[in-house]
Amino acid sequence: MPPTDSMFLLGETREHPLHVGGLQLFELPEGAGPDHIIELHRDLLSHADIRPLFRRRPRSPLGTPGQWAWANDDNLDLEYHVRLSALPRPGRVRELLELVSRLHGSLLDRHRPLWECHLIEGLEDNRYAVYTKAHHALLDGVSALRLLEDTLSTDPADRGVRPPWSPRVRTDATAPPPHREPEPFAGLVSAANLARDLLGLGPAVLRYVNQAFQEQSATLPHETPKSILNVPITGARRFAAQGWPLTRIRAVGAAAGATVNDVMLAMCAGALRTYLLELGALPDKPLVAAVPISLREGDGVGGNAVGIILCTLATDLDDPAARLAAITASMQRGKDFYRGMTPLQVTALSAIPFTPLALSLLPGAAKITPPAFNLLISNVPGPAEPLYWNGARMTGVYPVSIPYEGQALNITVTSYAGTLEFGLTGCRRSVPRLQRLLTFLEDSLAAMEKTIL
Amino acid sequence: MPPTDSMFLLGETREHPLHVGGLQLFELPEGAGPDHIIELHRDLLSHADIRPLFRRRPRSPLGTPGQWAWANDDNLDLEYHVRLSALPRPGRVRELLELVSRLHGSLLDRHRPLWECHLIEGLEDNRYAVYTKAHHALLDGVSALRLLEDTLSTDPADRGVRPPWSPRVRTDATAPPPHREPEPFAGLVSAANLARDLLGLGPAVLRYVNQAFQEQSATLPHETPKSILNVPITGARRFAAQGWPLTRIRAVGAAAGATVNDVMLAMCAGALRTYLLELGALPDKPLVAAVPISLREGDGVGGNAVGIILCTLATDLDDPAARLAAITASMQRGKDFYRGMTPLQVTALSAIPFTPLALSLLPGAAKITPPAFNLLISNVPGPAEPLYWNGARMTGVYPVSIPYEGQALNITVTSYAGTLEFGLTGCRRSVPRLQRLLTFLEDSLAAMEKTIL
Identify the pLDDT of residue A184.
36
Model confidence at B144, pLDDT cuts 50, 70, 90, reads confident
Look at A38 and B88 and tell me if their CB atoms are within 8 Å. yes
Residue A240's φ and ψ, nearest 5 degrees, are -135, 150
Look at A236 and B109 and tell me if their CB atoms are within 8 Å. yes
Other CB atoms within 10 Å distance of the CB of residue B433: 12
Q: State which residue of chain B sits closest to A111, comparing Cα positions.
A: B234
B453 SS3 class: coil
Q: Is the pLDDT at B175 greater than 80, yes or no? A: no
Q: Which amino acid is at A435?
A: Q
Digit-coded pLDDT (tens) for A338-363: 777 666 666 666 555 445 444 444 44
Of B128, B151, B174, the last residue of a domain is: B151
Identify the pLDDT of residue A435.
94
B166 or A427: which carries more pLDDT confidence? A427
Average pLDDT over residues B127-153: 83
Look at A102 and B87 and tell me if their CB atoms are within 8 Å. no
Other CB atoms within 10 Å distance of the CB of residue A446: 14
Q: Is the pLDDT at B49 greater than 70, yes or no? A: yes
Q: Which residues of A touch B235 (CB under 8 A)?
A: 109-111
Say yes or no: B143 and B215 in one domain.
Answer: no
The whole-chain average pLDDT of chain B stands at 81
Look at B88 and A86 and tell me if their CB atoms are within 8 Å. yes
Per-residue pLDDT of chain A (453 residues; tens, 9 = 90+): 665 566 667 667 777 788 889 999 999 998 898 899 999 999 999 988 888 888 988 887 665 555 678 888 888 999 999 999 999 999 999 999 999 999 999 989 888 999 999 999 999 999 999 999 998 777 766 777 777 778 899 999 988 777 888 876 544 434 444 433 333 334 444 445 555 555 555 555 556 566 666 666 777 777 889 899 988 888 899 999 999 999 999 999 999 999 999 999 999 999 999 999 999 999 999 999 988 877 654 444 334 456 778 899 999 999 999 999 999 999 998 888 877 766 666 666 655 544 544 444 444 444 445 577 899 898 888 889 999 998 999 999 999 998 887 889 999 999 999 999 999 999 999 999 999 999 999 999 999 999 999
Identify the pLDDT of residue A348.
63
Dist CA A373 CA A313 (whole Å) = 11
For A99, residues 6+ apart whose C-beta sits below 8 A from its C-beta are A85, A87, A120, A131, B85
Digit-coded pLDDT (tens) for B319-335: 999 999 999 999 998 88
Q: How many residues does chain B have?
A: 453
Mutate which: A12, A44, A108, A428, vs B, most B CBs within 10 A: A428
* Residue A103 located in a structural domain: yes
B73 or B243: which carries more pLDDT confidence? B243
* Residue B195 located in a structural domain: no
Decide: B283 and B336 in contact? Cβ < 8 Å.
no
Residue among A239, A183, A178 at smallest CA distance from A388:
A178
Say yes or no: A213 and A139 in one domain.
Answer: no
Q: Which residues of B touch A86 (CB under 8 A)?
A: 86-89, 122
Say yes or no: A205 and A128 in one domain.
Answer: no
| Number of separate domains in chain A | 2
Dist CA A161 CA A271 (whole Å) = 39
- What does the buried/exposed string (b/e) look like for B402-427 if buried means 16 or more CB atoms within 10 Å of the residue's CB? bbbbbbbbbbbbbbbbebbbbbbbbb
Q: Is the pLDDT at B47 greater than 70, yes or no? A: yes
Say yes or no: B285 and B407 in one domain.
Answer: yes
Residue among B413, B402, B389, B105 at smallest CA distance from B246:
B413
Choose from A158-167, B157-166, B213-222, B397-406 the range with maximum mean pLDDT.
B397-406
Which residues of A are catalytic, by number? 136
Say yes or no: B147 and B206 in one domain.
Answer: no
* Residue B275 located in a structural domain: yes
* Residue A310 located in a structural domain: yes
Q: Which residues of A touch B35 (CB under 8 A)?
A: 89
Residue B75 to residues A231, A375, B54, B80, B259, Cα–Cα distance (Å): 17, 25, 12, 11, 50
Q: Which residues of A touch B78 (CB under 8 A)?
A: none
Say yes or no: B144 and B209 in one domain.
Answer: no
Identify the pLDDT of residue B183.
34
| Nearest-neighbour CA in chain B from A76: distance (Å) | 10
Identify the pLDDT of residue A3.
59
Say yes or no: A216 and A79 in one domain.
Answer: no
| Nearest-neighbour CA in chain A from B33: distance (Å) | 12
Dist CA B354 CA B199 (whole Å) = 11
Q: Any idea which of A307-316, B148-157, B185-194 has the lowest mean pLDDT?
A: B185-194
End-to-end, the C-alpha distance of chain B in Å comes to: 54
Q: Which amino acid is at B101?
A: S
B227 SS3 class: coil
* Residue A356 located in a structural domain: yes
Where residue B91 sits, what CATH number does that domain have? Answer: 3.30.559.10
Digit-coded pLDDT (tens) for B361-415: 444 444 445 577 899 898 888 889 999 998 999 999 999 998 887 889 999 999 9
Decide: A323 and A265 in contact? Cβ < 8 Å.
no
Identify the pLDDT of residue B7.
64
Decide: A388 and A154 in contact? Cβ < 8 Å.
yes
Where residue B278 sits, what CATH number does that domain have? Answer: 3.30.559.30
Name the residue range of residue A416's domain. Answer: 200-383+396-452
Identify the pLDDT of residue B405.
76
Look at B109 and A77 and tell me if their CB atoms are within 8 Å. no
Identify the pLDDT of residue A124.
95
B405 SS3 class: coil
Dist CA B95 CA A79 (whole Å) = 13
- Give the count of Cβ contacts less than 8 A between chain A and B: 80
Of B151, B168, B186, the last residue of a domain is: B151
Say yes or no: A125 and A268 in one domain.
Answer: no
B443 or B342: which carries more pLDDT confidence? B443
Average pLDDT over residues B225-240: 91
Phi-psi region of B108 (alpha: psi -120 to 50; beta: other; left: phi over 0): beta
Would you list the DSSP string of A189-257? HHHHHHHHHHHTT-HHHHHHHHHHHHHHHTTSSSPPPP-TTSS---S-EEEEEEEEEHHHHHHHHHHHT
Decide: A19 and A135 in contact? Cβ < 8 Å.
yes
| Nearest-neighbour CA in chain A from B88: distance (Å) | 5
Look at A83 and B102 and tell me if their CB atoms are within 8 Å. yes
Identify the pLDDT of residue B305.
53
Of A151, A182, A216, the last residue of a domain is: A151
Say yes or no: A143 and A205 in one domain.
Answer: no
Phi-psi region of A295 (alpha: psi -120 to 50; beta: other; left: phi over 0): beta
Q: State which residue of chain B sits closest to A39, comparing Cα positions.
A: B89
Decide: A221 and A215 in contact? Cβ < 8 Å.
no
Say yes or no: A116 and A35 in one domain.
Answer: yes
Mutate which: A12, A80, A95, A434, vs B, most B CBs within 10 A: A80
* Residue A183 located in a structural domain: no
Decide: A399 and A432 in contact? Cβ < 8 Å.
no
B84/A contact by beta carbon, under 8 A: yes
Q: Any idea which of A145-159, B151-165, B189-203, B338-352 has the lowest mean pLDDT?
A: B189-203
Element (H, E) at A135: strand A127-135
* Residue B184 located in a structural domain: no
A124/B contact by beta carbon, under 8 A: no
A121/B contact by beta carbon, under 8 A: yes
Say yes or no: B102 and B214 in one domain.
Answer: no
Q: How many residues does chain A have?
A: 453
* Residue A368 located in a structural domain: yes
Say yes or no: A208 and A280 in one domain.
Answer: yes
Residue among A31, A35, A30 at smallest CA distance from A121:
A35
Q: Is the pLDDT at B338 greater than 90, yes or no? A: no
A31 or B305: which carries more pLDDT confidence? A31
B59/A contact by beta carbon, under 8 A: no
